[in-house]
Structure 1
Amino acid sequence: MSFAFVGTHTPARWAEWYRTNVAVSERGVAVATDPVPTYVSPSRLTEPQPFDAVDVAVDRCAVVFVLAADGDIYQYRSDRESMTRLACVWTSSESDDGGDTGDATTEEPVGIAATDDSLYVADADGRVQAISRHLFQTRWLTDGFASPVGVVATTGAVYVLDAGSPGASEANAGAENATVGDASGAGNGPDSAGRLVELAAGGESRTVVTGLSEPVDVATDTAGNVSILCRTADGPAVFLFPPATLGGAATTPGEPLVSPDEFRTRATGDEVVPSCLESVDAAELVVGVGSDAPGERTLFRYRAHDTAFERIPSFTTDSVALQTGRSGPDGGPPDLYVVDGSRRVHRLDAARQSRRNDGTGRYDATLVGRFDAAELGTEWHRVTMDIDPGDSRTQVRLRYAATDDEWQPTEGASPTAALETADGIDATDAERLRDAGVTTLGELASTEPGTLAAALAASGRSTSMSTLARLLEHARDALRVDVDTSRLDWRDLEQANPTDALLDDAEGRYLWVRLELVGNEFASPWVRRFRAYFPRQSYLRYLPDVYRNDERSAAFLERYLSLFESTFVDIEEEIGRANRYVDPAGVPAAHLPWLGEWLATEADDTWPTAARRELVAHAPALYKKRGTAEGLLAMIRLYLANSGSATADEPTRTRADGIGRRRTADEAARFDVTGSSADPNDSDPPVAAEPGATSRAAVGGERGSDSGPPDSQGRNIGDPLAADRQGTTARKSVYLVEHGDLRCIDSPPVEALYSRLLGCPEGFLVLLRPGIDDERARTVERIVDTQQPAHATGRAVHLRPWVRLAGGEQDDDPPTRGYHTYLGINTTLAERDFTVEEATLGQNAMLTEREATGQFDVKARLDRDARID
């Protein structure tokens, strides 16, 4: 029995449905989620906590640094769940005359930031200290700040937020590019206003933002944008400064990203008075409330599309500092670290929250689609869906209607239409958006508010979130279509989550389908695929007419027989697609070993799927060369080219592009398999198994003339050494040396060395570059063991990344040092490691200055920058 069917299974097809509160992705369709994550499951970092915390910093490796009130710094490793006190302590202030005093007072530190190599600590006395993470000693110390309130780090800069002095005014904040400690610079007078200062190496600094009114806190996001929380005359406000605006002359705050009138809760309109700020991503914000602020003690996240704040009910205490961590393994939102009013550190897990449907107020979504059978009066038979429930509390509900009426809802504006097409977007708004790179209604509607705000600020056209929310809503209204389908005679499918269901009384050319996805706060069902089969036919038609005389009995019998029909139809479809199981490019990964057995391929579990497919595709060509050097090299290079070999990222020097050009992964893969170079002028010296020896076979001698068939990417694997005959050499990852290749060596000591390595005339070596990791090297060893001919004895040698500068022959005059060793080919320069009882000082370990600063007698002073415990 054969059926025609229509359906949807790609994001492009799902996008053609009329949608409300729906997220479309490669996975399918689901209830949309909020762009700003919420936070759940708060937990203490350590219990009990032996210190009072002030601030938290998290580096790119998810290592957490906690700054204590007494100046100590603690390190928390989430993978080990351990808190360790570091050997670096904030130091006391000096006396007014500049000399050290034995009983100097200590100002409490106020903030900490972490980069890859340094920690930065600011204190209330106006000082900032940079501390080496390697030696835990002071790199440098700078002062001159009036009242630091925070320090943050991005991937390219470190910023200090200076609140200035009481009675600050903007009149004396006009100087640009001022240096901290310079009396003529902006913000250094007794009445200085708040400012943002960028720190550089050695403590040099530059004012990048001036004229801040009572700054409270500063935060950065992954894009390098800086958000500053201020208390203005009208109330709290957040100002956004993209990296482009911080790279030149000092700037002043423009229109706030979040204005004072937006600091209200969405549900009740209560006032939000924040004490600390964190930027999750692209100006999406989370704020905390201090102990002296009115209202509820909790965290609030800023909902850009609502231009209001929403409570995060999982955390019910006051906050003094916030810091996000690193994104999760799936690229999701990072966790949040909070220092509460009792100076305890908490971690909250990030969670994507489902977006409420504006029409229903629930966590649900609606899709409406129309399918055309191209024939009037078609009887629609059956629908199937691939559903991932996601949670026991979620559902997918289906309604359908069949009709011969060609009516469709009114079309909205085209996504490519100009911005002015939408009502409510005037010429001034459109010009601002074009300056930010947004030119069409579709681009505007699909851009997140925070991202758009950052783009506008970078173009010099700062706009508040409320204005952006209005523009986005106008764009979506213009693109929205009228999905009022009440004129259709809808029928409900009684069962929920219908993966396979018959359609009753569905006659007409067009089948309308309405899917309702019902989720909850943190879960949503996913629909990956939808199909509708036609025309209506079932196994009932094979039975005598007597079984169809009674309509009620016939309806039951048809549904009963449909159970078998569905199974057999699916089996028939699978049989119809059986040819894909013999196609290396289309066979499911689970069946690759089965197909490989047909062709007698030998690949163990360490081979990735891509390598297995290539091996199966070229098994006939490889089998012809089985037991030869060409076949062995081709198989090894095929494996390395499709296993993510580290050589794909190795830098390469050629005559055409000079030093430091980095080959692409596609180039590297091609080189690994074919042994050829894209540049016919590219040359590379030969490689030897040991320093002090050479062999023409190391770059490949002539072996055979059959080029063999190309692979799926057009690469030739039948003759992996064809490029050598053309006078070209690539950065190959594997070489082969046979005993006969030693005839070209004219140095008896070197020939003796290689003869000892090869062992016998039937021996050979497969040489692997140092860039290949140990796991792949072990796989290559297994390939050599299983693929070598019966009359030969071979082994794989993984070259090590070091060079021995030994001379050539003793009678050389002058002696030749480093004879036939090539930097970057069979040796690389690496940092020396010192291991007790294993390393020899002066040979494989050495004493050197690891840090430019932070050494005793350089910029570290006992009892000032460091202390001995």
Structure 2
Amino acid sequence: MQDTQSFFSFNKPLDWEQGCAANMDMSTKGLSIRSTEKYGVYRIVRLDELEGMESISDASVTPSGKLLLMDDHAGVWVYDDENQHREPLFRQGHPLFSGSAMLASLSDVWVTADPNSERRLGVYAMSNGQTLWAASEWNGLELLPLSLYAGGKLRSVYTLVPITITVGMNGNLEVPAGGQLVVLEWSEAGETIQVYEHESLRLEEAASIEELRGRFSLSAYDETVAVLDSHRKGVTVFFGADRSAMSFTVDQEGSFAGISIDTNHNLYIGSSGADWHEGGNERFILKYRGNGEFVEKVSGFRGRAEKLLHDSRNRMYVFDRFSGQITRLELQARTMTLAETGLPQGVYFSAELDTTETETIWHKIRLDADIPEETQIRISYFASDRKEGLLDGQFVDYTDFLTSEEVSIRDKLRATGHLWSEPIVNPQDALLMKAQGQYLWLKIELLGSGQKSPLIRKLRVYFPRTSLLTYLPAIYQQDEEHSPFLERFLALFGTFFDDMEDRIERISANFDADAVSGPYLEWLGRWLAISDRDSWGEVKLRQLIREAPTLYKLRGTREGLIRMLRIYTGTEPFLLEYFQFKQMQETSELRRLFEQLYGDNPYCFCVMLPPEYVRTDQQRMTIESIIEDGKPAYTDGKLIVLQPWMYADMHTYLGINTYLSEPTLLTLDERSSMPYNTVLIDVDRDKRMDIHTRLELDSELD
């Protein structure tokens, strides 16, 4: 109805890449604010609310996410926080370890380490509490574990132990100044398979074993092992089978405890400061790369941590004995913030859109986008007949300035602020007012929330200006005061007509069986009078529609029926007509058999299919419907489903549903059955060694 228009389209990454984006993702889906996964609180387990448990002294987590808890009296429990189900593993009062022991777990075993008990290291079955192995010494030295971890690629147990031990002035065991600590890796069988040693694990001053308890935290994943010394705020990391090591210092304020490694080999270190002198709510979990590079503070959790753990699904657990709770953190999608503003937003500047004609009056923009609640899209523009202009006292190329990586977003926004139009907020179809010139530039701002971002799938910019106002009398066009409003009002109807004309122009695509699916494909199937379209499925229905012209030419013929059945079943059917066995009926011995099998009607034919292609009543009904629709006039068709057994006087076709093989021993298994009419012996010939006995075929000697 309106004059032909042209447009610029942004609908694939190559289109967007012509401009410059800040904090934006340009993907095949469209343009959106960058996002990342960050930890957020999923659930808090308050341990004092669990009935039947004393004060919890230590906690661990299995790879599947179940919590393993130990109370002050050495009672051990397993707790499923999803179903709020708890089950005791060890009752209180046993002599194996004390309530001050350290706890760790694997999928089917759990581990304790206690330098104050006779059994320093013990591994127990999760199912029944049976001791699998235990150790009290290593390499001739008394085993005094200071930290414990279980897990990693090889399902190993890791302990941090001193190898330089002396007796202090008060008679207590201590590690002297310069004393060495090492990490021992134990196999599932209780053997030491690796020793991790580094100079950073030497003590600067003497300390007793009791003083060293709680000072160190240990974690491992794959072939990475990390040790945190909370007293010196130092971290030692071992890599690979060669046990190469590096160390770094936590340069953040505060005191720290607990270290854990995720599946990407990132390190997480918890804050252990008390509320009254550490700023309370400003305590964060710190995230580091494996090489010691600081990444960020985990802003999704603020609080005290005594122990950090990860399960196999990268969920993080924070144990705080002081408050008596375990916090579970899960990775959640978060929109990233723009560095210049600190807000979850993105800014995009386009290159120039060139119509090649001066004084072009730009018409409108059309936007295909998802705009969730609490998010916004703002589009500004400016047009000019010149590509260059004066910005900050310099004559520059607008496109070069806007797309330059060397100019910050803040400078671009400040220098070009006077050029842009008032922003159009969340437009779907909007006129471009006062936009005249050969070139047009766009500024797109995406404003998101903490977890959501708008997504622009497609953007079109139309030119030149066309309007239904031109179809009205001249008096309506000459009224400068009211014609702009009338033009905008009529633009609503212009959009409606544009959409309708666009659908009419693309209507042919709806007739292509390879291009449509779902309801449109079923709609095409109705054109062919196909019954039970749902039972065909989209793949078979497409093939049937493609071959429809040929099939209709062959309708009522043997070849046409076979091709229809081949499309539906995916196999070649066997079609038997009367003339094919007519001569055999001349023999009186065979006449009765053929009449029983195929009938004596010369105008009836049989379609035979293996049973695996006619599994359900719906399939049988569809096949019978195909035979009924495709049979020649004045004939009848009968479906015969071949059965996977052989009768000498029934439907027997060698190589099709009948196979001859050597006899084998009787074996009843999941693929065999014995019907009620099976006879295992010959009457009057049982218990005989005669012609019916064949060794290794139907008989065995024990």
Q: Deviations over 1:254-277 (max 9, x none)?
A: 254xx422xx2xxxxxx1432113
> Structure 1-normalised TM-score?
0.56
Provide the residue aligned with 1:389 in structure 2: 371
Give the counterpart letter for 1:217 in structure 2: S
Structure 1 pair 634/299, CA: closer, same or farther in 2 (3 Å)?
farther
Structure 1 pair 387/121, CA: closer, same or farther in 2 (3 Å)?
same
Provide the residue aligned with 1:193 in structure 2: 181
Matched, 1:131 2:125: yes
Give the counterpart letter for 2:86 in structure 1: T
Structure 1 pair 230/381, CA: closer, same or farther in 2 (3 Å)?
same
Provide the residue aligned with 2:425 in structure 1: 496
Matched, 1:373 2:355: yes
Matched, 1:226 2:224: yes
Provide the residue aligned with 1:27 in structure 2: 29
The aligned runs of 1:29-48 (5 Å cut-off) are 29-33=31-35, 35-40=36-41, 42-44=43-45, 48=49
Distance across 1 between alignment mates of 2:335 and 2:165:
44
The aligned runs of 1:177-256 (5 Å cut-off) are 191-195=179-183, 197=185, 199-207=186-194, 209-211=196-198, 213=201, 216-219=216-219, 224=222, 226=224, 228-231=226-229, 235-237=233-235, 239=237, 241=238, 245-246=239-240, 248-249=241-242, 251-256=243-248
Any conservation in 2 of the 1:781–1:796 contact (CA below 8 Å)? no
- 1:551 aligns to what SS in structure 2? coil
Provide the residue aligned with 1:791 in structure 2: 638
Judge which range, 483-492 or 375-384, deviates more. 483-492
Q: Deviations over 1:152-181 (max 9, x none)?
A: 434x32243322238689xxxxxxxxxxxx
Matched, 1:568 2:497: yes
Structure 1 pair 478/543, CA: closer, same or farther in 2 (3 Å)?
closer
Distance across 1 between alignment mates of 2:135 and 2:617:
57
Provide the residue aligned with 1:146 in structure 2: 144
Distance across 1 between alignment mates of 2:80 and 2:490:
63
Of 449, 466, 485, which aligns to 1:537? 466
Provide the residue aligned with 2:158 in structure 1: 161
Structure 1 pair 363/536, CA: closer, same or farther in 2 (3 Å)?
same
Provide the residue aligned with 1:447 in structure 2: none
Any conservation in 2 of the 1:49–1:344 contact (CA below 8 Å)? no
Provide the residue aligned with 1:580 in structure 2: 509
Distance across 2 between alignment mates of 1:608 and 1:485:
59
Distance across 2 between alignment mates of 1:369 and 1:564:
29
Structure 1 pair 579/701, CA: closer, same or farther in 2 (3 Å)?
closer
Any conservation in 2 of the 1:38–1:301 contact (CA below 8 Å)? no
Structure 1 pair 494/805, CA: closer, same or farther in 2 (3 Å)?
closer
The aligned runs of 1:411-490 (5 Å cut-off) are 486=415, 490=419
Rg larger in 1 or in 2?
A: 2
Any conservation in 1 of the 2:23–2:346 contact (CA below 8 Å)? yes
How big is the alpha-carbon RMSD for the aligned residues of Structure 1 and Structure 2? Answer: 4.7
Matched, 1:347 2:349: no
Give the superposition deviation at 1:815: 5.9
Q: Deviations over 1:326-385 (max 9, x none)?
A: 65xxxxxx5433322244333345333322211122221101112233433322111011
Distance across 1 between alignment mates of 2:643 and 2:382:
68
Distance across 2 between alignment mates of 1:112 and 1:517:
46
The aligned runs of 1:47-86 (5 Å cut-off) are 48-50=49-51, 51=53, 52=56, 54-59=58-63, 62-69=64-71, 70-76=74-80, 78=82, 81-85=83-87
Give the superposition deviation at 1:578: 1.4
Give the superposition deviation at 1:569: 0.6
The aligned runs of 1:504-653 (5 Å cut-off) are 504-601=433-530, 617=546, 631-632=564-565, 634-637=567-570
Judge which range, 784-793 or 538-547, deviates more. 784-793
Matched, 1:302 2:183: no
Give the superposition deviation at 1:600: 4.2
Give the counterpart letter for 2:217 in structure 1: D
Any conservation in 1 of the 2:146–2:160 contact (CA below 8 Å)? yes
Provide the residue aligned with 2:345 in structure 1: 364
> Structure 2-normalised TM-score?
0.68
Give the superposition deviation at 1:531: 1.0
Give the counterpart letter for 2:189 in structure 1: G
Distance across 2 between alignment mates of 1:817 and 1:506:
96
Give the superposition deviation at 1:558: 0.7
Give the counterpart letter for 2:425 in structure 1: A
Where structure 1 has 5 or more consecutive residues not aligned to the other structure, the ranges are 93-101, 170-186, 265-270, 328-333, 415-475, 638-673, 675-699, 705-754, 756-760, 769-776, 819-869
Structure 1 pair 794/619, CA: closer, same or farther in 2 (3 Å)?
farther
Any conservation in 1 of the 2:48–2:324 contact (CA below 8 Å)? no
Any conservation in 2 of the 1:67–1:112 contact (CA below 8 Å)? no
Give the superposition deviation at 1:621: 7.4
Distance across 1 between alignment mates of 2:25 and 2:518:
29
Residues paired across the two proteins, number: 568
Provide the residue aligned with 1:319 in structure 2: 305
Any conservation in 2 of the 1:58–1:323 contact (CA below 8 Å)? no
- 1:112 aligns to what SS in structure 2? strand
Of 95, 111, 114, which aligns to 1:121? 111
Distance across 2 between alignment mates of 1:607 and 1:374:
53
Distance across 2 between alignment mates of 1:159 and 1:477:
50
- 1:163 aligns to what SS in structure 2? strand
- Hey, which of these two has a bigger chunk of strand by percent? 2
- 2:336 aligns to what SS in structure 1? coil
- 1:356 aligns to what SS in structure 2? coil
Q: Deviations over 1:695-741 (max 9, x none)?
A: xxxxx89889xxxxxxxxxxxxxxxxxxxxxxxxxxxxxxxxxxxxx
Give the superposition deviation at 1:409: 4.4
Where structure 2 has 5 or more consecutive residues not aligned to the other structure, the ranges are 167-174, 203-214, 388-396, 577-596, 598-605, 628-636, 645-667, 682-691
- 1:569 aligns to what SS in structure 2? helix
Structure 1 pair 320/136, CA: closer, same or farther in 2 (3 Å)?
same
Provide the residue aligned with 1:401 in structure 2: 382
Give the counterpart letter for 1:27 in structure 2: K
Give the counterpart letter for 2:181 in structure 1: A
Distance across 2 between alignment mates of 1:146 and 1:534:
80
Distance across 2 between alignment mates of 1:225 and 1:105:
30
Provide the residue aligned with 1:846 in structure 2: none
Distance across 1 between alignment mates of 2:516 and 2:541:
11
Give the superposition deviation at 1:562: 0.3
Distance across 1 between alignment mates of 2:378 and 2:14:
22
Any conservation in 1 of the 2:365–2:461 contact (CA below 8 Å)? yes
Give the counterpart letter for 1:321 in structure 2: K
- 1:29 aligns to what SS in structure 2? strand
Structure 1 pair 787/147, CA: closer, same or farther in 2 (3 Å)?
same
Distance across 2 between alignment mates of 1:192 and 1:121:
24
Give the superposition deviation at 1:200: 3.5
Give the superposition deviation at 1:124: 2.5
Any conservation in 2 of the 1:409–1:483 contact (CA below 8 Å)? no
